[in-house]
Amino acid sequence: MITALEPSFTVAEREKFDKLSSFSFVHYWNGNGEARTMPNKLLFKGNRIYENILVKLVEGDIKQSSGELFAVYLKLGHVNLLAKDFAKALSAYQKAYNLDADRFWRDPSAYFGLGLVYFHFRAFSMFVFSFSFNDI
């Protein structure tokens, strides 16, 4: 029987990962559009860990864990944005938004990340909307 090992963070990796958000996008990518090697390893590991958490939450009672589910989707949105997987980032941000729209718009990193994704896909009207949301 083959068992898969779930990745885990070291203490230093956990601290770095917890600080990641869409605001880290500029620091993650240099002027040539190339990622820095070490942060990519952290993104890959974090993505695997959070996708495993997501599976466990979805298999459980979603109504009880909607707040936690929101946080996981939001973090996956940030991680996928930083990894330049814009389709996955868009999906994660939309799922977080659908779980709790009010909480989503109260988090600047959420609508900033969503705006960057819209900008990437050249959905400029949605991009402008996400950066001009003033009904907070």
Q: What is the pTM of this model?
A: 0.84
Residue 9 lies in a domain: no
Residue 42 lies in a domain: yes
How many structural domains are present in the chain? 1
Please name which of 72, 81, 73 lies closest in space to residue 116, comparing C-alpha atoms. 81
Q: Go through 109-127 and write b for each residue having 16 or more CB atoms within 10 A of its CB, e for each that does not.
A: bbbbbbbbbbbeeeeeeeb
State the residue range of the domain holding 54: 14-28+37-131
pLDDT at 36: 60
Residue 4 lies in a domain: no
Residue 49 lies in a domain: yes
pLDDT at 2: 55
| Residue range 22-80, pLDDT digits in tens | 998 887 776 555 556 557 889 999 999 999 999 988 888 666 678 999 999 999 999 99
pLDDT at 26: 81
| Residue range 71-123, pLDDT digits in tens | 999 999 999 999 999 999 999 999 999 999 999 999 999 999 999 999 899 88
pLDDT at 5: 76
pLDDT at 29: 73
pLDDT at 136: 46
Of 4 and 83, which is predicted with more confidence? 83
pLDDT at 62: 61
Residues in contact with 133: Cβ distance below 8 Å, sequence separation at least 6, in sequence order: 105, 111
Residue 1 lies in a domain: no
Here the CATH number for the domain that contains residue 52 is 1.25.40
Residue labelled with tokens 């999906």: 91
- 35 vs 24: CA distance, rounded Å: 12
Residue 6 lies in a domain: no
pLDDT at 58: 86
**HSE-up of residue 57 (Cα within 13 Å, Cβ side):** 18
pLDDT at 11: 95
Residue 124 lies in a domain: yes
User: In Å, how far from its chain's centre is CA 136?
Assistant: 21
Please name which of 20, 38, 75, 34 lies closest in space to residue 53, comparing C-alpha atoms. 75
Residue 85 lies in a domain: yes
- 71 vs 58: CA distance, rounded Å: 13
